[in-house]
Amino acid sequence: MQTSQKRKISGQYPVQELDSYCWPPNQSSLDHYQSGSDDGGNGLQHSVQNLEQYCTLDSSSGMQNSSSSASFSPNGSPVSQPNSHSYPSDLHHSPDNTSGSPVSGSCVTDNEHDLRHMIRQLETAMLGTESENVDIHAISSSDEATQVSLEAEKWKYMMEMIARGDLKELLCACAKAVENNDMHMTDWLMTQLRQMVSVSGEPLQRLGAYMLEGLVARLASSGSSIYKALRCKEPASAELLSYMHILYEVCPYFKFGYLSANGAIAEAVKDESRVHIIDFQIAQGAQWVTLIQALAARPGGPPSIRITGIDDPTSSYARGGGLEIVGQRLRKLAELCKVPFEFHAAAISASEVQCENLGIRPGEAIVVNFAMMLHHMPDESVGTQNHRDRLMRLAKSLSPKVVTLVEQEANTNTAPFFPRFVETMNHYLAVFESIDVTLPREHKERISVEQHCLAREIVNIIACEGPERVERHELLGKWRSRFTMAGFTPCPLSSFVNSTIKTLLQSYCDKYTLEERDGVLYLGWMNQVIIASCAWRC
């Protein structure tokens, strides 16, 4: 999900509209993989060309049981041809061979019978006596029979999954085929999956539509051309804001993150008269509405508040303008609440932030807020510039009163492709199920909400690698290690924050879960943890 109204779940990217899926398999491409080059890279390149030829994601009406223009029925499967065996035309004599005449480059017998005899002697020396010899051709035939049996079992298993409508297993099987560069199986499974997924169906069908799109895009390109291949459309900024607001209201994940972080901040600055909040991804500035209201009611009067809002370049479109929009909105609120307020705009990507961009002033109590944004920073697994840890060290150098962290509890950073695919499925299925409970299936804007606020990051996780993959979530255990190495210690959230969030969840479905472990709050859906929130101090 985009960084709440921040970059996650907030439509940070232009969003594609879906009607049908790309790449209908055709017999010529299947023949290529069955009888063509042994070079897997060439096969993939051929397949990508087919994909780009058929890619037509340009409609907003959604896809319902779309069919492919061609299909493949696995009456059989490609079987490796037996390797041909040949013997050298001239054999050198071994000292151990005491029978027959020596054979060398300058001494070759003209007697065909003698040559055959010597070849047989060489086989005997290498493989043992005739009674001990293993029939090479029998082994080859046995291997072929075993391969045929395994292939038959694989296809039988796939057909059984289709017969019982096991969409989850079929998606995993397709991802595995993509990982193994098994284009024959990939083509066929994508044809079947297109008929099973739908952006207007059950939660798994809707999620499956976007995950299938991610697999198609992965085959098209694992780099920046993914978005060109998908032919995405951007909604108008006002529409995108509307979709983000709907998602914010129907799911408690963002409110949970904001409230838990704000509770830790209010506790840390309760005795401070001047507070400087540095928000590394301010987006719409929605997080600070409740904090300004809470500090306005503080016994003894509110502190003066200064907020430095760091802007990711992709956020300006979602806002419909620059950071001055955020500043104006927060100033008006502060005036109504009679809170001294100042806004400092830092229109720079978080990965480029240096201390001089933050406008630090002496005498201010500094607060650093990392709400659903650090997972967008490249780390040591991406390149030599580890911005993820660099920003933590930068925050430590400011001697803040508190640093807040809100992140999705998922492992999509360094996990290999297939485990990452499974992790993405489990994580986002819980999100789609929770949306299904609070946003009616017939809601006319539900498809747009999911496409514009969720689909692009799902596709990015599945399709992209290296620097092009910007959705790189980590589990709380990894974040804890990073903060500890940067010199921070945990700052347990107060019981008041816990009770406030429990009250919030009572207005939602009872399938949401809230758990506190080691000073960290975890919000989940049934058995799947979705968001983790914690605080740190120097």
- Mean pLDDT of the residues in the chain: 77
Domain that holds residue 455: 153-233+414-469
Report whether pLDDT(510) > 80.
yes
Report whether pLDDT(375) > 70.
yes
130 belongs to a structural domain: no
Q: Residue 442: its pLDDT value, please?
A: 79
482 belongs to a structural domain: yes
Q: Are residues 263 and 220 in the same domain?
A: no
Report d(CA 506, CA 151) in Å as an integer: 52
Q: Are residues 374 and 442 in the same domain?
A: no
Q: Are residues 364 and 494 in the same domain?
A: yes
Among 450, 469, 488, give the residue marking a domain's end: 469
Report d(CA 280, CA 433) in Å as an integer: 30
Q: Residue 316: its pLDDT value, please?
A: 66
Helix, strand, coil % in the chain, rounded to nearest 5:
50, 10, 40
Task: Say if residues 475 and 410 touch (Cβ distance below 8 Å).
Answer: yes
Among 469, 490, 508, give the residue marking a domain's end: 469
Task: Say if residues 365 and 274 touch (Cβ distance below 8 Å).
Answer: yes
Report d(CA 172, CA 165) in Å as an integer: 13
Number of domains forming the structure of the chain: 2
Q: Which pairs with CB-CB distance under 8 Å and at least 24 residues apart come from 501-504?
A: 501/256, 501/259, 501/260, 504/252, 504/255, 504/256, 504/259
Report whether pLDDT(14) > 50.
no
Q: Residue 527: its pLDDT value, please?
A: 87
Q: Are residues 247 and 371 in the same domain?
A: yes
- Amino acid residing at 91: L
Q: What percent of the chain has pLDDT over 90?
A: 47
Q: Are residues 178 and 311 in the same domain?
A: no
Query: Which H or E element spans position 171?
Result: helix 167-179
Q: Is 424 exposed, middle or buried (0-12, 13-18, 19+ CB in 10 A)?
A: buried
Q: Are residues 423 and 341 in the same domain?
A: no
Task: Say if residues 525 and 511 touch (Cβ distance below 8 Å).
Answer: yes
Q: Are residues 431 and 506 in the same domain?
A: no
Report d(CA 415, CA 412) in Å as an integer: 6
Task: Say if residues 389 and 482 touch (Cβ distance below 8 Å).
Answer: yes
What average pLDDT does range 137-149 have in this prediction? Answer: 61
Task: Say if residues 524 and 515 touch (Cβ distance below 8 Å).
Answer: yes
Instruction: CATH number of the domain at 255, please.
Output: 3.40.50.150
Task: Say if residues 524 and 430 touch (Cβ distance below 8 Å).
Answer: yes
Among 454, 469, 484, give the residue marking a domain's end: 469
Q: Which of 3-7, 57-61, 258-262 has the lowest average pLDDT?
A: 57-61
98 belongs to a structural domain: no
100 belongs to a structural domain: no
Strand, helix or coil for residue 65: coil
49 belongs to a structural domain: no
Q: To which residue do tokens 């660099």 refer?
A: 390
Torsion of CA 150, 153, 155, 157, to 10 degrees: -140
Q: Which of 54-68, 417-431, 517-531 has the lowest average pLDDT?
A: 54-68
430 belongs to a structural domain: yes
Q: Are residues 459 and 445 in the same domain?
A: yes
308 belongs to a structural domain: yes
Report d(CA 173, CA 151) in Å as an integer: 14
Report d(CA 43, CA 183) in Å as an integer: 8
Report residue 59's pLDDT band, with 50, 70 and 90 as the boundaries.
very low
Report d(CA 240, CA 225) in Å as an integer: 23
Report residue 318's pLDDT band, with 50, 70 and 90 as the boundaries.
low
Residue 16 structure tokens: 């594609």
Q: Are residues 300 and 255 in the same domain?
A: yes
Report d(CA 437, CA 374) in Å as an integer: 29
Q: Residue 426: its pLDDT value, please?
A: 97
Q: Are residues 270 and 360 in the same domain?
A: yes
Q: Are residues 214 and 309 in the same domain?
A: no
Q: Is 31 exposed, middle or buried (0-12, 13-18, 19+ CB in 10 A)?
A: exposed
Q: Are residues 314 and 423 in the same domain?
A: no
Report residue 160's pLDDT band, with 50, 70 and 90 as the boundaries.
confident
Helices (H), 225-278: 226-230, 237-250, 253-268
Nearest to 303, CA basis, from 329, 277, 332, 330: 277
Query: Which H or E element spans position 370?
Result: strand 365-371
Nearest to 455, CA basis, from 97, 110, 109, 2: 2
64 belongs to a structural domain: no
pTM of full prediction above 0.85? no
Secondary structure of 111-162 as H, E, C letters: CHHHHHHHHHHHHHHHHCCCCCCCCHHHHHHHHHHHHHHHHHHHHHHHHHHH
